[in-house]
Chain A
């Protein structure tokens, strides 16, 4: 991978005289000039309210909005009218929970989800379960953090109506066996709701090949601005679902006592959209995919292998989930024996190394792993082997700093 740091203004400038080693990409990435410039260009040259004006500028804004949709559709191998712009993954998953879950689930139905789900793909389903009388059924990974075929067959059954899973866990970094899950879910007549927040930055996601029913992702984890994301849904499902939010631009006609809705996807896009963000998202997708998926995966895999090999030499480090790099994308969660993750993160920060510490919005997984919190180093295409070396060097200072005499 060529050195990309100079394309990222935030990363190119030292902070307090130190180079920033940014390893919190699972939370949000930085943005390249290609994205920042595209957003600026939109507001400088093409900004108006799409779908509303007949004048030329409004047409250009509409083109920017719909053009971005086409880029997102291409990215996921979907049709443009199967792509709904959202704020982020959470909004996409909430849309499915409320518009599909509340409408079509009833008492006795089951919602199957992994215990590793981010709260975004868990709390909305808890609310659906409470409202409809449906039951939440959890899939538990084995000791290596991976879901087995047996667990999939045992938990997805004839009563399952929705299977909600993250393609890649934001804590374990491991990809779930999605083909197996989709096959079983469809055999049982359930729909699959895929949280792609942590997968889209690291691998090609083809919703047609995966045959998932819904898929949601965020722009800001994918080098795009905050506040924009997308939801994919199979068109026949989207068409039978009621709207989520209602108001401007999502209607066909409104009378005093009744409304007919716009066709999908506009039925789900009430109010003025974040077109600048959508343009940024399209630019981010084009920038990322131009690097080539093979090269992206090879580079990130090399970073991962280097980090895992380094951690394996440190006996006081525990890595969560199978420490083999195969099927692991972008994320390594770990703890330093005897030191709380927040103290680890503060000590790393003193060396300019930014990692996340906490429960990572996955408290049921923390409970399942028997820990309160952990540290997470998460990678992006612009990270380098030197970044990983700095992480490994700094992590070796932690126990000394906290008064353990083993170094």
Chain B
């Protein structure tokens, strides 16, 4: 895998995209996720009502992989039920661990499939999964 496959256009653009970088009005939960060894640090805010993730946003800093992953995750989970959001996180972890590789199976992840290259880069796995672990923890606290 070449370096441009890892840093593909979707990741590069989403790593700097501002569209989810904001506080969420009426947020029902706010949770910080940190990778202490490398300094990736995001705060995820969610407004969950009637079991639906109505809106999500984040602030923070980190590498392109961590920031793009957070932004792509939010694209995906807004409007989904808590259960669906958790299922997507499970599917994402499966992709990053290299356990789920089928194109059809991964279809539900949408553009987040652009992060599949990380499954070949053990040193960057933590960056890719930070947002998704934070999401699961946040949804767990919400429940």
Q: Point out residues on A near B: beta carbons under 8 Å.
A: 339-343, 346-347, 350, 357-359, 372-373, 401-403
- Please report the C-alpha to C-alpha distance between residue A175 and residue B39 in the assembled complex, in whole angstroms: 27
Contact, CB under 8 Å: B9 / A350: no
Closest 6 CB pairs of A and B: A350-B3, A340-B63, A403-B12, A342-B63, A372-B39, A343-B64
- Please report the C-alpha to C-alpha distance between residue A350 and residue B7 in the assembled complex, in whole angstroms: 12
Q: Point out residues on B near A: beta carbons under 8 Å.
A: 2-4, 6-7, 9, 12-13, 15-16, 37-39, 41, 61-65, 121, 123-124, 127
- Please report the C-alpha to C-alpha distance between residue A205 and residue B49 in the assembled complex, in whole angstroms: 65
Contact, CB under 8 Å: A401 / B63: no
Known interface pairs A342-B127, A350-B2, A403-B12. Does A373 touch B65 (Cβ–Cβ under 8 Å)?
no
Q: Which of B7, B9, B41 contacts A347 (CB 8 A)?
A: B7
- Please report the C-alpha to C-alpha distance between residue A222 and residue B65 in the assembled complex, in whole angstroms: 34
Contact, CB under 8 Å: B61 / A372: yes
Known interface pairs A350-B2, A350-B3. Does A403 touch B127 (Cβ–Cβ under 8 Å)?
no
- Closest approach, in angstroms, between the C-beta of B16 and any C-beta of chain A? 8
- Please report the C-alpha to C-alpha distance between residue A337 and residue B123 in the assembled complex, in whole angstroms: 22
- Please report the C-alpha to C-alpha distance between residue A343 and residue B127 in the assembled complex, in whole angstroms: 10
Residues of B close to A372: CB separation below 8 A: 39, 41, 61
- Please report the C-alpha to C-alpha distance between residue A373 and residue B16 in the assembled complex, in whole angstroms: 18
- Closest approach, in angstroms, between the C-beta of A243 and any C-beta of chain B? 33
- Please report the C-alpha to C-alpha distance between residue A341 and residue B65 in the assembled complex, in whole angstroms: 12
Nearest-CB residue, chain A, relative to B36: A359
Residues of B close to A350: CB separation below 8 A: 2-3
- Closest approach, in angstroms, between the C-beta of B111 and any C-beta of chain A? 16
- Please report the C-alpha to C-alpha distance between residue A339 and residue B62 in the assembled complex, in whole angstroms: 10
Contact, CB under 8 Å: B62 / A402: no
- Closest approach, in angstroms, between the C-beta of B14 and any C-beta of chain A? 11
- Closest approach, in angstroms, between the C-beta of A219 and any C-beta of chain B? 24
Residues of A close to B7: CB separation below 8 A: 343, 347, 401-403
- Closest approach, in angstroms, between the C-beta of A28 and any C-beta of chain B? 17
Nearest-CB residue, chain B, relative to A372: B39
- Closest approach, in angstroms, between the C-beta of B66 and any C-beta of chain A? 8
Known interface pairs A350-B3, A401-B3, A403-B9. Does A343 touch B65 (Cβ–Cβ under 8 Å)?
yes
Residues of A close to B124: CB separation below 8 A: 342, 346
- Closest approach, in angstroms, between the C-beta of A351 and any C-beta of chain B? 8
Known interface pairs A340-B62, A372-B61. Does A359 touch B39 (Cβ–Cβ under 8 Å)?
yes
- Please report the C-alpha to C-alpha distance between residue A343 and residue B63 in the assembled complex, in whole angstroms: 6
Q: Which of B2, B6, B64 contacts A340 (CB 8 A)?
A: B64
Residues of A close to B62: CB separation below 8 A: 340
- Please report the C-alpha to C-alpha distance between residue A373 and residue B63 in the assembled complex, in whole angstroms: 10
Residues of A close to B3: CB separation below 8 A: 346-347, 350, 401
- Closest approach, in angstroms, between the C-beta of B5 and any C-beta of chain A? 10
Contact, CB under 8 Å: B38 / A358: yes
Q: Which of B2, B13, B38 contacts A403 (CB 8 A)?
A: B13
- Please report the C-alpha to C-alpha distance between residue A183 and residue B2 in the assembled complex, in whole angstroms: 55
Nearest-CB residue, chain B, relative to A351: B3
